[in-house]
Structure 1
Amino acid sequence: MATNQELGARGEELAVRHLEDIGLEVIERNWRHRSGELDIIARDGDTVVFVEVKTRSGIGYGTPAEAVTYTKQTRIRGLALRWLSLQQGPWVQIRFDVIAIVVGRHDDPVITHVRSAF
């Protein structure tokens, strides 16, 4: 059985692959600030996309997307503003996506990408 860190790392790898497969450019991963971390920052045309990745081995405690609570959304918004303040790019739009991944024991992972999740 994978540890939570291993499961999270696998989920982020799957999320990056998914984003690249649909044409987004990943520009940063695991950006850290004293108040938290942004999992993935990507570019979708002239839109910067902040992606929260949640991975679970099952749904016994709820779906991965349900773990992105209002409190977590607020923290992610604040981190995104901090990241943007440090950039030179003229971003036209920003978007917050959630990628929820369920990794079963024997099945292929189920990836749900919620665009503009919050």
Structure 2
Amino acid sequence: MCAIDALGIAAMLGRDTRIESVDVTTGQPIIITTTSGHTDWEPAAAVVFIGADAGVGPSADCCCGYLNFFIGQASAEAWTRNHPGIPGQILNQTQAEDLGTRLFRPLLAD
């Protein structure tokens, strides 16, 4: 599942969540837990890369493979250097959570 989709689930459902992922560069685990609206990231330096290839079509085809968690800025930067054809940006935790919330909270709102 896309990192931003995963982050948006807590806001969309108004429930506590636990996301378990791995850094695609290092293979190290990343765990994000949302409890009562507060989110904790492990490791504390984890970030999210958001990007898309030049393809046209559903976001699952052109984006989801490029919306990933990383253990930190250096790991995300290493991945971007190895994938120069994937434009995007690295988001800090607040930016990633805010994007997930903006995209997903309205989906089940009254």
- Provide TM-score, normalisation by structure 2: 0.33
Quick one: higher RCO (CA 8 Å, sep 6+), 1 or 2? 2
- Provide TM-score, normalisation by structure 1: 0.31
* Structure holding more helix per residue: 2
